[in-house]
A = this chain, B = another copy of it.
Amino acid sequence: MELAILFGGASFEHEISIVSAITVKEKLSSFDLKFIFCDQDHSFYLIEADNMMAKTFASGAYKKMPRLTLDIGCFVQKKRLRSDKYSFKVLNLIHGADGEDGTIASLFDFYKISYIGPRMAASVFSYDKRYTKWLADALGVKTLPYEVLFSDGERKIKTKLPFIIKPSRLGSSIGVSVVQEESQIDYALDVAFEFDDSVIVEPFIDGVKEYNLAGYGAGDEIRYSMIEEPQKDVFLDFDKKYLDFSRSTTVSAADIDDAAEEKFRQVFKRIYRNLFDGALIRCDFFMIDSEIYINEINPIPGSMSNYLFKNFEAAIIELLENLPVRREAGIDYKYIHTINAVKGK
């Protein structure tokens, strides 16, 4: 089965997307894989499988590889005498900006490229942590209390120490700090505001139980991965998460009973339904006093959370067979014809 992996992007998570793509390449070895790199200037390049190593990108060597442009229904490679057109189905594996913020989704919807990944509205609600809170509230899913600060506003925080400060719109723990005492607040805010104009502040709960569950839609069904209780170290900083994006060994399931597992699935379903079709997402939950809280929705999880699925290739095939189709508007110029008829034109 042919599939193009799209990675890179003009994002703070550009590099982990490269790591993610190299990992997924190994996990989808029975596919006929193509690789499309989006560089920080938003040019696309077709990369041979043999060149799928970090130094191709870090050294700039990719710039000698064929450049692709987009046209309706295809990527185009211009050659001296003709153009080759590629109607790839694409796995959007750009983490952070471009990939997870809805830009690539819109681009592909516009150009009618079929893709695995969150659609635009799903991206907006998962990429910005403020909007994830709104989504959770609207769906009746529990989430930690929070407050929002803006870079041009006052630095008054009502949340009690210790708390966690995060840029509103980044993943992979970039710019995130746990603040234990008041003297650390200003620095933590400076760091977070380097990455976004708004930050969210949430209580930090030491030793909170975390559970990760991935899944995707297949027709009326949702297919769930196993649930993992991720190991943690206060919280994963960027360096550790970076390694996390290269995970490829199947993990062991969290030690929870069937009833608890079913509860996680019900919350997952409430979030996924009518919003995330076409995407394989990972929900990162907290469990507090036997209640499930949504912490984060990863609509393009690192290395597609392959390690949570018993048969990752089968999952991707099933997802490809269940991609949503965009409703087309019929345009018949009925109103214009009516008006012109009245005018005698």
Contact = CB atoms under 8 A, between A and B. Distances in A.
B331 A111 contact: no
A33 interface: no
B98 A110 contact: yes
Interface stretch (A222-230, A262-270, A333-341): A333-341
A11 B329 CA distance: 5
A274 to B, nearest CB: 7
Contact of A120 (B120, B135, B242): B120
B135 A274 contact: no
A18 B131 contact: no
A15 interface: yes
Contact of A15 (B40, B274, B335): B335
Copies, count:
2
Interface string A30-67: 00000000001111000000000011011000000000
Interface stretch (A101-109, A177-185, A294-302, A308-316): A101-109
A258 interface: no
A18 to B, nearest CB: 7
B69 A71 contact: yes
Interface in A52-93: 54-55, 57-58, 69-72
14 contacts: A10-B328, A10-B329, A12-B329, A12-B331, A55-B336, A97-B329, A102-B124, A120-B120, A121-B124, A130-B138, A137-B137, A137-B138, A197-B327, A198-B274
